[in-house]
Amino acid sequence: MLKFGLVGKPNVGKSTLFSALTKNQVEIANYPFTTLKPNVGVTFVRIPCPHMELGKECNPREGFCKGGIRHVPVEVVDVPGLIPGASQGKGMGNEFMDGVRDSQALCHVIDGTGMTMPDGTLSEQRRDPREDIRIIENEIITWFADRIFRDWDRFSKKADSTGERTDRSLGRKLASFGISEKEVALILSKEVFPAKLGLWSESDARDFAEAVFNHIKPVFRILNKADSMDSQSIQQMRASVERVYFISAEYELALEKAFESHLIDSTGEDFHISDKATKQQAAVLARIKEFFRSPEITRILDITGELVQKSLGYIVVFPVVDESNWTDNNGNILPDALLMPSGSTAHDLAFRIHTDIGEGFIRAVDCRTRRVIGKDHILQNSDVIRIIAKTK
């Protein structure tokens, strides 16, 4: 399953955001290191479900479908709070870094009010949130660069002596960090590094680490507590920070709780307040409703879609066995919705289903057009595909 990590220093609202994303209650408190071990949950990417074309309900094996919208699961990890020095193991640094290594993307949660100090304690004086972005993301890059450059002399001498391609050598070295040879090749095509690994310096390793978080594991900056920020501050941050979003995790969680208590009829922007709400509750909910109507504010589930589909470039593909009825062997309609990288082929899908199916691939069928497609056919978002293979 696709995974992304919530990172950030303590006390910026990561646990609240995690709860709102996954609807799981984790320990939420106003002190550093509330999350002592990574919390793992599931959020969803939303896509129109092809079952609407059939006029029959689908039977999801994972996630769910509601109102014709398929909710495809994505794993989210709330890793321990990070403080300066974590790259050297200070505080919860080791646990933090373990939570980062196998995430496909990172959501860096920042206190948009600037009232949280680097160690997670609250301050009466406002700090520039951009300083927090610099400090925390420097820790991530420093940690990764240090691990890239460990045992570099021995590694580079051996790799250079064999005449092996740089991307292949680095791919093996970085495989434990969830980085493939193909992704290494992508970085080397976009950035400039010495041709021989033996000529790389510690500075080159750091540049490579930065490239990883630019091209392979993109970092999204999520400014929390936007309900306490003024419009001018939001506009200034938006103009100076890339991939930035403004949210209120507390408001998101409040809407979830209000919906569970039947005080509102949905958690969308146009929810209606029930007569069950007290005057005080109705006033708070009306304020939240007005806040989420602002074009400067992003809802949490929209961030998930932005991260997975637009930035990471993933598509959703529906593999089936019966090309006419779009079912599996048990008659379940569109049981699986798989997130695949953009540019994936029918052959990639076959291997994703099972190694034996990939190795025994014969052909595939586009179930909408009934057209036979080959292994190199590039899949599109929402494709319904049958794989025909010779299996053992």
Looking at residue 294, the DSSP 8-state letter turns out to be S
Say whether pLDDT at 375 is over 80.
Answer: yes
- Domain locations in the chain as residue ranges: 3-38+79-222, 315-389
DSSP-assigned states of every residue in 59-95 = --SSSEEETTEEEEEEEEEEPPP--TTGGGT-TTHHH
Whole-number Å distance between alpha carbons of 113 and 19: 21
pLDDT above 60 for 68? yes
| Residue 176 reports pLDDT greater than 90 | no
> What's the CATH superfamily of 315-389?
Beta-grasp domain (3.10.20.30)
Mind listing the pLDDT tens digit for each residue in 197-254?
999 999 999 999 999 999 888 899 999 999 999 999 999 999 999 999 999 989 998 9
What is the pLDDT averaged over residues 258-274? 93
pLDDT of residue 226: 95
Q: What is the pLDDT of residue 167?
A: 95
Q: Does domain 3-38+79-222 have CATH number 2.40.128.110?
A: no
Residues 362, 388: Cα–Cα separation, whole Å: 6
Q: Helices (DSSP H) in 23-176: which residue ranges?
A: 51-54, 93-100, 129-149, 152-162, 166-174
Q: What is the DSSP string of 339-381?
A: EEETT-BHHHHHHHH-HHHHHTEEEEEETTTTEEE-TTPBP-T
Q: Tell which residue, 352, 351, 341, 345, has the closest CA to residue 366.
A: 345
What pLDDT digit, counting tens, does each position of 280-339 carry?
A: 999 999 999 999 999 999 998 788 888 898 888 899 999 999 999 999 999 999 999 999
Q: In which band, very low, low, confident or very high, does the pLDDT at 181 lie, cut at 50, 70 and 90?
A: very high
Amino acid identity, position 14: K
Question: 152-162 and 166-174 are packed helices; what angle lies between their axes, rounded to 10 degrees?
Answer: 140
CB atoms within 10 A of CB 162: 10
pLDDT tens digits along 79-88 = 775 556 655 6
Residue type, 225: K
Nearest CA among 380, 381, 345 for reference residue 364 = 345
Q: Structure tokens of 73?
A: 């699961």
117 neighbors 22 (Cβ within 8 angstroms): no
On the question of pLDDT at 118 being above 90, the answer is: no
User: pLDDT per residue over 9-64, tens digit each?
Assistant: 878 888 888 888 887 555 555 555 445 456 888 999 999 999 999 999 999 999 99
Tell me 126's DSSP state.
Answer: P
Same topology, domains 3-38+79-222 and 315-389? Answer is: no
